């Protein structure tokens, strides 16, 4: 029993210090609660060891008196010595305040790869881009064939040759031509004979030797002969011939028709008596280039079959395929710039001349067409490329390099330099894009300096600071 009591007494003595310590801590906690004690700030603890660091922002690692983030209205001198404040910068959309990002030193900015450039004012165009293809101007494009079936006697041109309107391309030997010329000569002779007979009857009737009925019949026969003659004239015209010009009352002869339609220089080299009268010239309907030739001498051809393709390449068409949404912003007369694939230095400019009234069933795009000059022939048909259509222009737009604009997760922002270490994030409204620059419609003034290269570092820091805490004033 004595042994048990002694052991309990020794255990109680060993735990007495712990119990006493816990009791004292409880009394201190109760007293602090009753007296509203507060824990000292980190800055006050540091200041007791290093008084020089009392004016220090622990969050942004700069003197707190110069921390533009915590003291947004504190003037800070810029690199050129002029005072700048965040409160003096323009507000973003909706009147929001600029959100600053601060570096410890100017050297930190350089190490981060951040470069700056001034926002400039320059003419700017809002453009729509689309895939496009060059084609021939179909108002200056012709597939030339023979007007009658026959065999090819001569071919005068090769693919690539330049021709003028009316130049001879080929000669066709066609029996239909000989028949048309014969019918014309017969009809002309019949008109002449019927006209002479009617004139004799008219004189006899006036003298009383013939009755009026004979004169009426003769004049009717003359009318029929004139109608037939007119029809034979039309047959020649339909074959591409121009009937010979004759003196009043003259009757055409076979010599007048044998080489009808042939160029004078060719007629001079032919024997008019031995050359067939069945020759049908195939001539170019326009000035241009022979794009293709699909016939050789001796080949049989049909009426209407294309033998040659001739095109005037001094003007070409560019057809662009736009989305239905973009097509609503296109109007006749707008400027279109076509950039051929692989040769951006050979861009050509034209004007919109036509817009389609339907959406293509297969591609679901809307076709628009522009006419472009091509006097030197450098633009080739069926060339693919990109079309830029200017839909709006501004004579004095505020622009920045494309790399200056970043997305912060909710809006487009640029970072305006406040001083050598501070950049203010400014929400902006974007406009047209052109040649590596972007139009800023609101949120930025011309002349303000913004971060360009390395601006992605600033947007990363900005998003990081959204999650962090600020400095204390203690």
Per the DSSP assignment, residues forming a β-bridge with 318 are 134, 370
Q: Are residues 109 and 230 in the same domain?
A: no
Q: Please indicate, yes or no, if residue 347 is contained in any of the structural domains.
A: yes
Q: Which two tokens stand for residue 383?
A: 């060339």
Computed from CA positions of residues 120, 125, 131, 135, in that sequence, does the dihedral angle turn out positive or negative? negative
Residue 416 lies in a domain: yes
Hey, how many other C-beta atoms are within 10 angstroms of the C-beta on 457? 19
* Domain end marker among 393, 409, 428: 393
Is 48 inside any structural domain?
no
C-alpha dist (Å) from residue 152 to 165, 259, 278, 347, 420: 21, 16, 11, 43, 85
Question: Is residue 435 within 8 Å of residue 399, measured between CB atoms?
Answer: no
Q: How does pLDDT run along the chain (474 residues), one tens digit per residue? A: 566 677 767 776 777 777 778 778 777 777 776 766 666 555 554 444 444 455 556 555 556 655 655 554 444 444 444 444 454 445 544 455 667 888 888 888 888 889 999 999 988 877 889 999 999 999 999 999 999 999 999 999 999 999 999 999 999 999 999 999 999 999 999 999 988 888 888 887 766 666 778 788 888 999 999 999 999 999 999 999 988 887 777 888 888 888 888 888 888 777 767 788 899 999 999 999 999 999 999 999 999 899 999 999 999 999 999 999 999 989 999 999 999 998 888 899 999 999 999 999 999 999 999 999 999 889 999 999 999 998 877 888 899 999 999 988 888 999 999 888 889 899 999 887 877 888 898 889 989 999 998 888 888 888 776 655 444 444
Residue 359 domain-assigned (yes or no): yes
Specify if 38 maps to a domain.
Answer: no
Residues 194 and 336 both lie in one domain: no
- Whether 25 is in a domain gets the answer no
Q: Are residues 78 and 149 in the same domain?
A: no
Are residues 222 and 179 located together in one domain of the fold? Answer: yes
DSSP assignment of 436-460: TEEEEEES--TT-EEE-TTHHHHHH
- Domains: count for the chain: 4
Burial of 40 (0-12, 13-18, 19+ CB in 10 A): exposed
Does residue 265 sit in the same domain as residue 179? yes
Q: Tell me if 42 is assigned to some domain.
A: no
- Residue 471's pLDDT is 45
- 186/264 same-domain check: yes
Q: What is the dihedral of CA 348, 352, 358, 362, to 10 degrees?
A: 0
**Do 267 and 195 fall within a single domain?**
yes
pLDDT given at position 292: 96
Give residue 94's domain range. Answer: 73-122+395-465
What's 319's domain CATH number?
A: 2.40.30.170
Closest CA to 282 of 239, 234, 339: 239
Report if residue 217 sits inside a domain: yes
**Pair 411, 426 in one domain:** yes
For residues 302 and 351, membership in a common domain is answered with: no
Provide the pLDDT for residue 316.
Answer: 97
Q: How far apart are CA 292 and CA 363, in angstroms?
A: 30
The size of the chain, in residues, is 474
């Amino acid at each position: 029993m004595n042994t048990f009591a002694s052991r309990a007494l020794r255990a109680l003595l060993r735990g007495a210090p712990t119990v006493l310590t816990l009791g004292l801590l409880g009394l201190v906690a109760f007293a602090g609660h009753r007296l509203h004690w507060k824990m000292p700030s980190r800055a006050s603890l540091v200041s007791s060891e290093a008084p020089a660091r009392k004016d220090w922002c622990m969050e942004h690692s700069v003197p707190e008196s110069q921390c533009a983030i915590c003291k947004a209205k504190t003037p800070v001198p810029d690199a050129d010595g002029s005072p700048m404040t965040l409160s003096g910068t323009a507000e973003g959309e909706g009147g929001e305040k600029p959100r600053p990002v601060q570096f410890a030193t100017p050297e930190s900015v350089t190490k981060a790869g951040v470069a700056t450039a001034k926002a400039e004012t320059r003419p700017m165009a809002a453009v729509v881009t689309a895939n496009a293809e060059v084609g021939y101007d179909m108002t200056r494009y012709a597939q030339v064939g023979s007007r009658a079936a026959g065999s090819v006697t001569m071919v005068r041109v090769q693919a690539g040759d330049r021709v003028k309107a009316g130049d001879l391309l080929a000669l066709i030997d066609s029996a239909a031509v000989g028949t048309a010329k014969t019918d014309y000569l017969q009809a002309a002779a019949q008109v002449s004979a019927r006209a002479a007979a009617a004139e004799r009857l008219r004189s006899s009737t006036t003298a009383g030797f013939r009755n009026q009925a004979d004169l009426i019949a003769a004049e009717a026969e003359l009318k029929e002969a004139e109608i037939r003659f007119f029809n034979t004239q039309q047959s020649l015209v339909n074959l591409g011939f121009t009937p010979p010009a004759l003196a009043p009352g003259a009757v055409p002869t076979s010599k007048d028709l044998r080489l009808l339609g042939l160029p004078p220089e060719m007629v001079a080299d032919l024997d008019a008596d031995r050359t067939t009268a069945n020759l049908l010239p195939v001539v170019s309907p326009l000035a241009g280039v022979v794009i293709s030739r699909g016939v050789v001498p001796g080949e049989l051809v049909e009426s209407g079959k294309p033998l040659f393709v001739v095109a005037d390449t001094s003007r070409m068409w560019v057809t662009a395929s736009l989305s239905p949404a973009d097509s609503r912003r296109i109007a006749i007369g707008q400027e279109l710039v076509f950039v051929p694939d692989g040769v951006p230095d050979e861009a050509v400019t034209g004007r919109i001349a036509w817009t389609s009234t339907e959406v293509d069933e297969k591609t679901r795009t809307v076709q628009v067409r522009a006419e472009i000059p091509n006097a030197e022939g450098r633009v080739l048909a069926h060339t693919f490329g990109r079309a830029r259509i200017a839909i709006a222009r501004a004579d004095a737009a505020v622009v920045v390099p494309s790399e200056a604009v970043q997305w912060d997760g909710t809006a487009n922002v640029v970072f305006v330099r406040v001083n050598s270490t501070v950049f203010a994030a400014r929400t902006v409204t974007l406009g047209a894009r052109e040649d590596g620059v972007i139009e800023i419609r609101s949120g930025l003034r011309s002349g303000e300096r913004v971060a360009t290269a390395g601006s992605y570092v600033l947007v990363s820091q900005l998003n990081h600071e959204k999650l962090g805490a600020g400095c204390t004033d203690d």
